[in-house]
Amino acid sequence: MRDVHQEIQSILELEAQASAVETNAQAISAQANEKMKELHERIKRGATTGDRIKDFVIARYGFLNEEIEAVYRDLEARVGQHVGEFVLMIAKEENFHGCAGLGYRPKDEDYVLDEHFYLGILKDGALVLNLADDKCELPTGNHVRCWDSWRENVKLAEGNLNSGWPHDFGLNLNKQLKRRNPMACFQKEPDLVLEMKIGDAEVKEWFEKRPGHHLVVLQKASRLLGRATEESPQLAEELQRRRDTVAKRLTELVKERDQLKQKIARIFGAVKRGVYSSDGVGVTVCETEDDARVISMGPRQKLREVESEIKRQLKVALELGMADVQLLSIQQLCQEYEVKAL
């Protein structure tokens, strides 16, 4: 019986020691956190460890982390090898774009993947680290943003390329995106929250592995950056497909426009006869120009829509370099509708 009591006493003593050690550990941890906070503030005010990457990690994240430091060191090393070349940042996120009104709660399958990318040209071989603002930028001077590659909407933005907190280099680079949509499990490769393609070769390879509209986006973006890219066979094929489509569409639109103009002219010409017939059977009173305007309201509205679409297609044609197409006179149509090349 005494042995049992002694064993219980021994256990209680060990538990007391463990509690004391835990209390002491908490106190030491709190002390370390306080010192880390002090170091964080000192670094942001200009103190240094002698290592610019370590300084930045402390200033941005408020703690020491060699794994995050390694991300920035690798990023800077790659940047230094490709000055004067393209750099591409790809950010992905999953969103619900439907209507959540009337109490509807989106299901996992309602979420879609949004892909945004940013293209720049490296002007220098070192990361731009701003400790005061916790910013890490790639030295591009400016960059092109593309929020929707399907619509091919690209926009030139002033300032260096940077990730910001939503897609942080240290925390998100090359990290797998947790998808809600169950269809994502059928993909061959997982989606990443943030990717960086550095150098012309990597950037070109990334675009060429994607649908044709991505290559068109690259062409538009590189032009905005003042650096035309070489037209690859894939891009040439995509552009020719688009030229054929635009030429066919313009031919159809011009034919429809001419038919509508002829129909409107016949309506106004019927004023002299006092009646108008669209099919040779039924007749409509058409004694004045006011009558003709009422009768021609539908065709005139349709004509405005057709001519608006002609203008849109002409802008596309000019972007595709079709000013000298022989199938129809793009130049003549551009002059007629006052459409100028951008």
Average pLDDT, the chain: 88
DSSP state of 110: G
Question: pTM score, two decimals?
Answer: 0.75
pLDDT (average), residues 205-232: 88
Tell me the H-state helices in the chain.
2-44, 52-61, 66-80, 169-172, 200-208, 212-224, 233-269, 289-295, 297-319, 330-337
pLDDT tens-digit map of 140-170: 999 999 988 888 889 999 999 987 777 899 9
Which range has the top average pLDDT, 49-53, 74-78, 165-169?
74-78
pLDDT band at 46, cuts 50/70/90?
A: confident
Dihedral angle sign, alpha carbons of residues 48, 54, 57, 58 = negative
Dihedral angle sign, alpha carbons of residues 291, 294, 298, 301 = positive
Q: How far apart are CA 301 and CA 269, in angstroms?
A: 19
pLDDT tens-digit map of 244-287: 999 999 989 999 999 999 999 999 999 999 999 888 788 899 99
Question: What is the predicted pLDDT for the residue at 123?
Answer: 97
